[in-house]
Amino acid sequence: MEQHNVTGTRTSVLVLDKPMAPPTWALLQRELLAANSAACRRFFDYYFDERGYLKCVPRWGGDDGPDDAIENLTDWPVLYALGGDDDLLAMCIRAWEGHLRQYTEAKTTEVPFARDGMYYKEFPTMCDWLHNGESMSVFNLLGLAGLGGLGSDYAEGFAKRVRRYAGFYMGEDPGAPNYDPERRIIRSMFNGSRGPMLRKATAVDWAGDPLEVENRFVLLHGERNYAEMLAHFEEYNDVAGDHPLNMGATSLILNAYMLSGEAKYREWLLGYCDAWLKRMQANGGIIPSNVGLDGTLGGECGGKWWGGVYGWGFTVTVPQTGEKAHRNLVHWGYRGFGNAILVSGDMRYVDAWGAMLDQINGQMRVIDGVPCYPHMYGDDGWYHYRPDRYLHGALDLYYWSMREQDRARVADDPWVRFLHGESPGYPHEALRADFETIRSRVQEGITKEMLTPDTRLSDNPNPYNPATVGTLVRLMLGGLPTGNAAFPLQARVRYFDPQRRRAGLPLGVAALVEQMDATSATVMLVNLDPTRAKSVVIQGGGYGEHRILDAEIDRRTLPVNGTWCTVRLAAGCGGRVTLRMARYGAQPRLDLPWD
């Protein structure tokens, strides 16, 4: 039997026809997909109404704003793309459409940029990319369903939004002058559909309008009244200029590129990330946390490259305790570099970030007999020494490069050890633990929560979101969990069901990525259905960015030379497929294989 691959190359359908007793990991995997889907359905019915509105008091704020409302569905698009139930996608779409209406209707009285609506042009009016990322955590991953999977009617509106959102950061919307193309900077770390904030931010900008707290609301950040909410953000002032957090915006541009294939999006993405590489080089290898409007390091913070909100030196006071909190978020930059790697395969981004990690950890001091490593930098140099090394992004670096020097930083990671044959029990242990996570979230949230819509804030349900997909992403896809920051799915493989014409494994099929290196991946596939054959499409990469050269089954090698291949599993059968790959050998797209 033959098929035409997306490249036009003719390739054989791979066949697994050896009977296989269901492995424990496969049974656990299918049950975990089912348990996730059922728990998400129950969560949605409890917290959302028929319009898709969250049953809460909608507010603007860094503690409990619009971003937290849709963040309650973090990982649901990924769960669907793994093979979760069909209605997960429908719930995501209903919640997203309701979210846009709910927070466009919601207005502030004291916060100037949200008085006409917290959303404008279906996007946050103005905020930082910690919160903007949470706002986009569902929408930016809807593309995993494929445009065909979204349906023709919805896909058209989806595509318009993708382009509009990217346009806010590419100078295409004169009402949102966020980007300076000459200096390749996003002009403020506080930005959105109404443009950048170029003044000092105030506590009200962050905390939102006054509200009654005592005896009504439960604030997850621990404040006991509105005065403490203001005090929480009292020092959150220096927002003008570029910040590594803004690299979260590259995901919007990446989405537009994967949708359209237009070169302008790829050029913007690589140009912006390369500008950050140059800033690192100019700063002795350390990524600066403030870049002035004139392009100079620390230009909006008195020349201090470590300055700014969420910068290297951002240590603030916790109002309810008086203790110091260290809130350095520059590490978001590495995920922006990951977006650049997705379209280029260029390992310069890995080299730069890895060298920075090594340089920081090279500042180690022995304190009370314990090696400690810095996590902050201020006027007096490195500080906030802790026993754990500064390793933000280290696992991602190894995933991208597959090099031994990058593996060394994460050699003790249980998943990495499993991929190298050193922790064979990891799949069973990790999958079993996820059942308890789902149970506890449903119990503590839906079962025990006593809040009502007029006493619930948007972030109160966040801890109870039952979607638990990190282990599944690692084991099924050989991939990295996306988290709540709107970053794309980075995976070695993905699966599609050709019979139901949708993303995800077919019903009754389980998959385990057993091994990965720079040129190959070995996947165990099992058909748990003892009476019916199943077919599954395996794609190279989360978005077809890895070219599959050939596939080996039972010592037979069959040519593929494309971004996907089809495996037919006889009833109750399974086996290993080793895919030889040219990683980052194709450009990522949102298409389904048959599109």
Average pLDDT on 14-33 reads 97
Residues 497 and 397 in one domain: no
The answer to whether 378 and 304 have CB atoms below 8 angstroms apart is: no
Q: Looking at this protein, which amino acid is placed at residue 466?
A: P
Domain that holds residue 542: 2-11+492-582
For the stretch 272-308, pLDDT in tens is 999 999 999 999 999 999 999 999 999 999 999 999 9
Residues 398 and 252 in one domain: yes
- Domain endpoint, select from 352, 378, 410: 410
- Domain endpoint, select from 362, 385, 410: 410
The answer to whether 76 and 92 have CB atoms below 8 angstroms apart is: yes
Q: What are phi and psi of 130, to 5 degrees?
A: -65, -45
Residue with tokens 């424990």: 24
Res 11: pLDDT = 52
Q: Maximum CA pair distance of the chain?
A: 71
pLDDT > 70 fraction of the chain, expressed in percent and rounded: 98
Residues 400 and 510 in one domain: no
Q: Is residue 513 part of a domain?
A: yes
Residues 249 and 341 in one domain: yes
Q: How far apart, in whole angstroms, are the C-alpha atoms of residue 21 and residue 32?
A: 19
Q: Are strands 547-553 and 574-582 parallel, antiparallel or unpaired?
A: antiparallel
Residues 245 and 360 in one domain: yes
Q: How far apart, in whole angstroms, are the C-alpha atoms of residue 366 and residue 315?
A: 23
Average pLDDT, the chain: 96
Q: Is residue 479 part of a domain?
A: no
- As beta bridge partners, residue 120 has 123
Q: How far apart, in whole angstroms, are the C-alpha atoms of residue 163 and residue 156?
A: 11
Residues 242 and 390 in one domain: yes
Average pLDDT on 117-142 reads 97
Q: Is residue 182 part of a domain?
A: no
In terms of Cα–Cα distance, which of 116, 307, 308, 128 is closest to 206? 128
Task: Classify residue 485 by burial, with Cβ atoms within 10 Å: 0-12, 13-18, 19+.
Answer: buried
Residues 404 and 517 in one domain: no
Distant-in-sequence, close-in-space partners of 105: CB < 8 Å, separation ≥ 6: 117
How many domains in the chain? Answer: 2
Provide the CATH number for the domain around residue 535: 2.60.40.1180
Q: How far apart, in whole angstroms, are the C-alpha atoms of residue 368 and residue 364?
A: 13
Res 3: pLDDT = 42
Q: Is residue 456 part of a domain?
A: no
Q: Is residue 467 part of a domain?
A: no
Q: Is residue 42 part of a domain?
A: no
For the stretch 203-259, pLDDT in tens is 999 999 999 999 999 998 889 999 999 999 999 999 999 999 999 999 999 999 999
Q: Is residue 549 part of a domain?
A: yes
- Domain endpoint, select from 410, 436, 457: 410
Residues 245 and 383 in one domain: yes
Token representation of residue 303: 């020349």
pTM over 0.95: yes
pLDDT value at 347 more than 80: yes
Q: How many Cα neighbours within 13 Å face the side chain of 146? A: 21
Token representation of residue 503: 């993303």
Residues 278 and 403 in one domain: yes
Q: How far apart, in whole angstroms, are the C-alpha atoms of residue 401 and residue 382?
A: 29
pLDDT value at 6 more than 90: no
Residues 399 and 504 in one domain: no
Q: Is residue 122 part of a domain?
A: no
What is the SS3 assignment for 570? coil
For the stretch 162-191, pLDDT in tens is 999 999 999 999 999 999 999 999 999 999
Residues 406 and 497 in one domain: no
Q: How far apart, in whole angstroms, are the C-alpha atoms of residue 56 and residue 64?
A: 10
Res 12: pLDDT = 64
Res 5: pLDDT = 41
For the stretch 69-119, pLDDT in tens is 999 999 999 999 999 999 999 999 999 999 999 999 999 999 999 999 999
Q: How far apart, in whole angstroms, are the C-alpha atoms of residue 366 and residue 272?
A: 38
Residues 270 and 371 in one domain: yes
